[in-house]
Amino acid sequence: MLACPHRPPCPGCPRLGEPGVAPGPLSELESLAEARGLPGVGVVRGADTGFRYRARLAVRGRARSPKLGIFEAGSHRVVDIPRCLVHHPLVNDVAFAARAAIRETATPTYSDDAHAGLLRYLQVVVERATSTAQVVAVANDETPERSMAFLSSLAGRLGPRLHSLFWNGNVARTNSILGPSWQRISGPVAVEERVGGARVFYPPGAFGQSHLELSSALVDAVHAFVPHGARVLELYAGVGAIGLGLSPRVKELAVNELAADSLRGLELGVAALDADKRARVRVLPGPAGSAITSMDAPDVVIVDPPRRGLDADVLASLVQRPPKMLVYVACGLESFLSDERALALGGRLRLAELAAYDMFPHTEHVETLARFDRVD
């Protein structure tokens, strides 16, 4: 049985030591499968320690005794987690180096109540191929000058383990972690991963999955659904981790994304394709509801919406003009179940396959992969 040195009070792994996927969400998915006449729910699991390649750590405490970790439930009290079991070891190493750099440079840490201090958060993303870390220091400041001593100390301590270093400014009284101001201090503009056979790029402001082993397995499963020569529309595409790998074998691929940072990563991924594959890809910036009408009768629509689920206009369009196949990747179970009911009531899309991915081990969350086929 796993034993965590930070529990309690760390709330990050409420099911630590309990086997398998959380029974509540799995039971809901199994009930859905039974109601739709499916044989069952496939469960896909991976590593349950050292799997988190991406972490955002709150920085609080004092300059001489900083704390880097996550908030206790319902508070702004940070639990220091220097030996987190689920972090990739390099994430813990970066946090250790940051603590030392804060102490060395006497960098003031942020206070939520006073809205004072300088260093608010540290974001760490590990690039698998190089075993190096992209690091973002989020500061309560409008310019990076006061952060430079800390950034220099941190870079020196990490040495060749540092992929890139960014300063981010967030001066608002907000629970949002990243602010609007950016400066690249050193290194490449994005972390690069190989997903589904494609080069995929993550600028520091773009969304990315933390469990790369299982997210890559999920992408492979999506690809297995898509027929060769299909015309594919992907909505809520992020940096293109799902769609770009389809470019060698589809007739046409239209990828939609709204967020500016993810669009920058998507553009890098498209540019990295060879000319033949690039010619098959169109990027559709903006809301998913606008993009869904841009391709006449796609064979396959892939959706990977945020936790709130499909936008109302996207859901209505899928009900009224269903594709031959809909592939739904869901991080929010309740919103997925609601969307599935609406699709089923439409009468023209039938749930054909359902799988649960244990993307968030030791928690109550699952990632759901569903395939719907059109009823003609």
pLDDT, one tens digit per residue, over 316-349 is 999 999 999 999 999 999 999 999 999 999 999 9
Pick left, alpha or beta for residue 115 (phi over 0 → left; psi -120 to 50 → alpha; otherwise beta): left
Which architecture does CATH list for 54-188? Beta Barrel (2.40)
Q: How far apart are CA 297 and CA 183, in angstroms?
A: 42
Q: How far apart are CA 248 and CA 140, in angstroms?
A: 45
pLDDT tens digits, 239-253: 999 999 999 999 999
Confidence (pLDDT) at 289: 96
Confidence (pLDDT) at 63: 97
Percent of the chain with pLDDT over 90: 95
Count Cβ neighbours within 10 Å for each residue of 290-320 and write b for 16 or more, e otherwise. Answer: ebbeebeebbbbbbbbeeebbbeebbebbbe
pLDDT tens digits, 118-140: 999 999 999 999 999 999 999 99
Q: How far apart are CA 119 and CA 374, in angstroms?
A: 52
Q: Are the C-beta atoms of 337 and 310 separated by less than 8 Å?
A: no
Q: How confident is the model at residue 2 (pLDDT cuts 50, 70, 90)?
A: confident
Confidence (pLDDT) at 74: 86
Domain ranges of the chain: 23-48+211-374, 54-188
The DSSP bridge pattern shows strands 300-303 and 54-62 to be: unpaired
For 263, residues 6+ apart whose C-beta sits below 8 A from its C-beta are 257, 283, 285
| C-alpha torsion sign, points 303, 308, 313, 318 | positive
pLDDT tens digits, 29-77: 999 999 999 999 999 999 999 999 999 999 999 999 999 999 998 888 9
Phi, psi dihedral angles at 81 (to 5 degrees):
-130, 65
Per-residue pLDDT, averaged over 192-198, amounts to 98
CATH topology assigned to domain 23-48+211-374: Rossmann fold (3.40.50)
Q: How far apart are CA 222 and CA 200, in angstroms?
A: 16
DSSP 87: B
Residues in the chain: 376
Confidence (pLDDT) at 130: 98
Query: Mean pLDDT over all residues of the chain?
Result: 97
Q: How confident is the model at residue 295 (pLDDT cuts 50, 70, 90)?
A: confident
Helix (H) or strand (E) holding 284: strand 281-285
Q: How confident is the model at residue 376 (pLDDT cuts 50, 70, 90)?
A: confident
> What residue spans of the chain are helical by DSSP H?
23-35, 89-105, 148-158, 212-225, 260-271, 275-278, 288-291, 312-320, 333-346
Answer yes or no: is pLDDT of 1 > 80.
no
Which residues does residue 234 pair with via DSSP β-bridges, in sequence order? Answer: 255, 302
Confidence (pLDDT) at 157: 98
For the question of whether the overall pTM of this predicted structure is more than 0.95, the answer is yes
Confidence (pLDDT) at 178: 98
Same topology, domains 23-48+211-374 and 54-188? Answer is no
For 226, residues 6+ apart whose C-beta sits below 8 A from its C-beta are 232, 246, 249, 250, 300, 302, 325, 327
Half-sphere exposure in the Cβ direction for 277 (13 Å, CA): 16
Q: Are the C-beta atoms of 33 and 40 separated by less than 8 Å?
A: yes
List the structure tokens of 370.
């569903």
Q: How confident is the model at residue 373 (pLDDT cuts 50, 70, 90)?
A: very high
CB count, 10 Å around CB of 348?
16
Confidence (pLDDT) at 170: 98
Give SS3 for 253.
Answer: strand
